[in-house]
Amino acid sequence: MRFKPGLPVIAALIVSFLLQPAVLSAKTKRGAALLVTLLDGRQYRGELITVKPEGLLLLSAEGNEQTVDRPEIKSVRIVRRSRAGLFAGIGGAAGLAGMGGLVLSGGGDVDYGTEKVLAGAGVGALAGFLAGMIMGVDSEFTLAGQPEAVVADYWRKLGAHSREGRLPGPAPETKAGAPRPAAESGARPPRAPRFKIGLSVSIPVSPHGYHTSIAEGSFRFTDISVVPPDDISIPVSFSQQQVKSPRDVFFGPVSLAYELTEKMSAEVELVLSGKTRSAGSTYGEMAFTSFPDGLRYHAYAGANYDTGFTSLLVGLSFRTGSPTALNRHIFEVGAAAGPALGTMKLLTWDGDSQDLRKIALSGRIQAAYDFHILPSFSIGAFVGYRHLRVGFPSSTYSADVEFREVGNESNALTRPVEVTLPGQTVKWPGPFFGFRLGFRI
């Protein structure tokens, strides 16, 4: 039997092919491409060979070496090559492989499977394209007018981007006359902004489906002239279903963080889930035996409901460091807890509506990545897990219900009843991911 490679195998080959140029270029250990602007407006372009105390040694495209004196430099820009095309190919192949593997392993309709594979490849390509654009954004640092301690710290970090700094082996020792770091010089750089405002959206990743449970409720007749009398409650088993939809989007968190140290912040965040329509339903069969004729009658009772929540959490986050012109990739982990107000709007089958509210404790853990286009502005993504369960109390509603004889649906009678719906616990999806913007002020 001849082996036919599937989509995952083909996609893996594509990924390895796309990665090969990047791997080969990484072995050359070239320095960063710089655009250096002098105080008099002249500009020099070239590969950064080494960072000297007195200036920068550049290698031009023509192969000429040029030393640029540090006191004459106005600004330094690291010119990055866009990898949007490369990353789009990698992302598209990864999406093709992942979704193709799911379709092949799960079977199903071929057309529907094809749509899922194409959607996975498209989403992966788009994500890779955006990531490649972000990775290709230039960074610029202005030396003119900066305190010596700030310039010295930048000079030290810039050395890691030189060809000499990227060679294997121990880092070159600081030469005599090199500007000392801020901690050694005794001078302190200006305090960076300590407040950060975050704006984001969260998307739960729980699979689409129904969570079903059984709870006990009751009903009673309110017409005292007819037996059974109104003081007898008849139990009813209600089936409760909560719908989980991948289309739900939470507005937030909107957060305010305060930098306690370079790597730790205290933060307050607000999350608005919005109202999830048709979030679930509860229904049950009411049944009784009529005493005058001994016949068995039944009818159905229940309600649909919409849900939502608002949570206010307080927590701590830990990151790899503060953003600078050369430190633009920041990773962060954190945890928070606080109260959440859960809301439920019941839409009973007789057309009545009820609004229920309950406060519960909520918590979340989260890991995030931020890319700082500027030290004061970032875009990023995050993943996490949110724990939120709200137990809503039981509720009652009254209605005139048409009961039909069991086995003879044409025989019916109408009686006023009071239905007691059981309380229920609503669980919002735990895992989530999202995207955010950050502003340091």
Would you say residue 190 lies in a domain?
no
* Number of residues written out for the chain: 441
- Residues 351, 382: one domain? yes
Would you say residue 189 lies in a domain?
no
Would you say residue 181 lies in a domain?
no
- Residue 85, CA distances (Å) to 65, 336, 413 in order: 32, 38, 71
**CATH number, position 33:** 2.30.30.100
- Residues 206, 353: one domain? yes
- Residues 144, 199: one domain? no
Is this model's pTM higher than 0.85 or not?
A: no
CA-closest candidate to residue 83, choices 17, 134, 20: 134
- Residues 298, 401: one domain? yes
Mean pLDDT by 10 residues, the chain (441 residues): 45 49 51 87 87 86 84 86 75 68 49 58 73 73 84 84 69 44 41 80 70 88 63 86 69 88 91 77 90 86 89 94 82 95 88 88 94 86 91 90 90 90 84 88 83
- Residues 137, 218: one domain? no
CB 242, CB 279: distance < 8 Å: yes
- Residues 321, 384: one domain? yes
Is the link from the previous residue into 189 a cis peptide, with omega within 30 of 0? no
Would you say residue 186 lies in a domain?
no
Q: Pairing mode, if any, of strands 276-289 and 264-272?
A: unpaired
- Residue numbers of the domain that contains 297: 195-440
- What SS3 class is residue 405? strand
Domain count of the fold of the chain: 2
For residue 119, the model assigns a pLDDT of 66
Q: Pairing mode, if any, of strands 389-392 and 377-387?
A: unpaired
Would you say residue 74 lies in a domain?
yes
Q: Tell me how far apart the alpha carbons of residues 8 and 166 are, in angstroms, rounded to a whole number.
A: 35
For residue 181, the model assigns a pLDDT of 44
Would you say residue 161 lies in a domain?
yes
- Residues 231, 380: one domain? yes
For residue 31, the model assigns a pLDDT of 81
Q: What is 343-391 written as a DSSP string? A: EEEEEETTS-EEEEEEEEEEEEEEEEEEEEEETTEEEEEEEEEEE-EEE
Q: Tell me how far apart the alpha carbons of residues 101 and 48 are, in angstroms, rounded to a whole number.
A: 44
CB 250, CB 271: distance < 8 Å: yes
- Residues 91, 160: one domain? yes
Would you say residue 2 lies in a domain?
no
For residue 231, the model assigns a pLDDT of 56
- Residues 115, 229: one domain? no
- Residues 259, 394: one domain? yes
- Residues 56, 125: one domain? yes
Rounding to the nearest 10 degrees, give the CA dihedral for residues 202, 127, 263, 78: -150
- Residues 207, 153: one domain? no
Would you say residue 425 lies in a domain?
yes
